[in-house]
Amino acid sequence: MPDIETIVARLEQLYGVPEWQPRQNPLEELIHCILSQHTSDANSFRAYRLLRERYPDWEAVARAPVEELAETIRSGGLANQKAPRIQAVLRAIKAARGDYTLDWMRDAPTDAARQFLLSLPGIGPKCAAIVLCFALGRPVIPVDTHVFRVSWRLGLIPKAIGEAKAHDALEAMIPEPLVYRFHVALIQHGRAVCKAQNPRCAQCPLQDLCAYAQGQKGA
């Protein structure tokens, strides 16, 4: 199995070393994550901006007619599914915590925060990991399509494991100080070089470590 530190070091020579900074508070990150599913970043950011412009607070979002909310976030795609999910999540948070906030997670153990997120309607491992990583700076890896593809091609995980179970498998093998850097580096590499179709193996600084590249050479 390739060495994690070597992978990160080589990719950061290409893409630089990322510095973690909080993007949004945990609840904002969670709602944005729901909107980002199965759409582009541009569409999800637009849908989130329109939602925040229309409604003065999360109470107003939770109480809005669902058809009205769906129309507001239409640019994010799958609005008829995302609108009721957003409202169900907000209501579940209010019922459990007495308010529309996840700021209490800043002082909570990572496992407890993760379990609460996973208990919310329609929230899976990837969305929970996004909140923990980007809003709270926890050593948790959101496994998107790029992270998953590059990881299995390198031979770090079997492809058959699937994205959901890959979260635990990757977190178990990556040193905590490298978790965020590994995540960012693999996303950048998946977009630029290790593409889903026609990966640019000849340009890859990891080809000598990569099970997929070595298999292609032997084919």
Tell me if 151 sits within 8 A of 166, measured CB to CB: yes
Alpha-carbon distance of 158 to 148, in angstroms, equals 10
Q: For the chain, how long is the longest CA-to-CA vector?
A: 60
Whole-number Å distance between alpha carbons of 41 and 45: 6
Q: In the predicted model, is pLDDT for residue 200 greater than 90?
A: yes
**pLDDT tens digits, residue range 81-90?**
999 999 999 9
Domains in the chain, CATH or no CATH each: 4-18+142-218 (1.10.1670.10), 26-135 (1.10.340.30)
Work out the pLDDT band at 49, boundaries 50, 70, 90: very high
Task: Note the pLDDT of residue 215.
Answer: 84
Confidence of residue 196 (pLDDT cuts 50, 70, 90): very high
pLDDT value at 219 more than 70 = no
**Residue 77 falls in which region: left (phi positive, over 0), alpha (psi -120 to 50) or beta:** left
Residue 217: per-residue pLDDT:
61
Res. 22 pLDDT band, cuts 50 70 90 = confident
Instruction: Report the chain's terminal Cα–Cα distance, integer Å.
Output: 20
Distance CA 36, CA 51 (A): 13
Condensed to tens digits (0 to 9), the pLDDT of residues 150-186 reads 999 999 999 999 988 999 999 999 999 999 999 999 9
Q: Is the pLDDT of residue 212 over 60?
A: yes
